[in-house]
Homo-oligomer: A and B are copies of this chain.
Amino acid sequence: MSDEQNIKLAVDAVVFGYMEGELYLLLIKRKYGYNKDSWALPGGFVENGETLEQAVKRELIEETGVKANYLEQLYTFGEVERDHRRRVVSVAYIGLVNPQLFELEADTDASEAQWFLIRELPSLAFDHDHIAQSGLKRLRAKLSYEPIGFELLNSKFPFSDLEQLYQGILGKHIDRRNFRKKLLSFGFIEETEEYATHSGSGRPGKLFEFNEQKYSELKANGIHFEIKLA
């Protein structure tokens, strides 16, 4: 029985980054084989001795040099013809990364790795357009009912960064006062004594930091968070 008879299992990563008010997606250019030279999501086959999550992390590092500190399983794509060469089922993950923390380095299968503005994506190999869109949809949904997104920022950030992040990703205007009131009311965002170094004009804002532990505690008790999309 040839290899052609078996279903191969792969993982793909939809990794988002955020810089200066804009959301980016991490893509690689494939070095070998079918779909060579087209842009695609980082990913690859799962090896026998590793879990799915280990596989994504490994592929991400190999292909881009990025180590995602937030990873969550998105969906498993199992259409029969998603890869024309052979049957491949792929488990997709969402990752969040602060791009400033990594220098992109294409290593193995990828000849290039690059951040693309989310609203200027090239067309992607296989069904990766579809996977990326699902990822984006999930990110938006999740952001609006769970305060993730701190992974996209520096560990200390002015409040306006958070605002902009939310507005950027959700594509909506958010009332500054209500947003700040709400997020601070949970208690997992803490004020530090530092101030932003003036990154332009205007009054420098205080820096805040995310208290992951407090967040986990609250979450365990059923946090109730929601940013309306109106």
Contact = CB atoms under 8 A, between A and B. Distances in A.
Given A7-B9, A229-B222, A76 B91 contact: yes
Interface stretch (A44-52, A60-68, A184-192): A44-52
A178 interface: no
Interface residues of A, number: 25
Contact of A51 (B5, B79, B229): B79
A75 interface: yes
A1 B53 CA distance: 25
Contacts of A9: 7, 9, 89
Nearest to A86: B48
A75 B78 contact: no
Contacts of A46: 7, 78, 89
A80 B52 CA distance: 9
A230 to B, nearest CB: 9
Interface in A4-26: 5-9
15 contacts: A5-B48, A6-B6, A7-B8, A7-B46, A9-B89, A46-B78, A49-B80, A50-B80, A53-B78, A73-B75, A73-B76, A76-B76, A78-B91, A89-B91, A222-B229
Interface of A: 1, 3, 5-9, 46, 48-53, 73, 75-76, 78-80, 87, 89, 91, 222, 229
Given A6-B6, A46-B78, A76-B76, 18 more contacts: A1-B3, A6-B48, A7-B9, A7-B46, A7-B48, A46-B89, A48-B87, A49-B80, A51-B78, A51-B79, A51-B80, A52-B76, A52-B78, A53-B78, A73-B75, A76-B91, A89-B91, A222-B229
